[in-house]
Amino acid sequence: MEEEKVINEGGINGSADGTIDYHSADFLALQAMIKASAEKLDETERLNNVLLSIRFQMETDLREGE
């Protein structure tokens, strides 16, 4: 059974074409908040985030057959 892919029709900032404008003020502000939050993490939390990132990428690769 093939999984149905969900597309965010509104985009990240309501662009209505399902794309992300990486140069929009909204996106840049979100990116800055994420970076500021990440800088407050201790080394163990950072390592856990890196490992989770690898895990999620591996799961995606397996699911998509790459």
pLDDT at 20 over 60: yes
Instruction: Show the tokens assigned to 40.
Output: 């407050």
52 compared with 7, residue with greater pLDDT: 52
Quote the pLDDT of residue 66.
64
Quote the pLDDT of residue 44.
97
Cβ neighbours around 42 below 10 Å, total: 8
Length of the chain in terms of residues written: 66
Quote the pLDDT of residue 62.
92
Q: How far from chain centre, in Å, is Cα 37?
A: 15
In the chain, what percentage of residues exceed pLDDT 90?
A: 50
pLDDT at 41 over 70: yes
Asked if 9 contacts 18 with a C-beta cutoff of 8 angstroms, the reply is yes
Domain that holds residue 41: 1-66
Helix (H, G, I), strand (E, B) or coil at 10: coil
The mean pLDDT of 27-51, rounded to a whole number, is: 94
Number of independent structural domains in the chain: 1
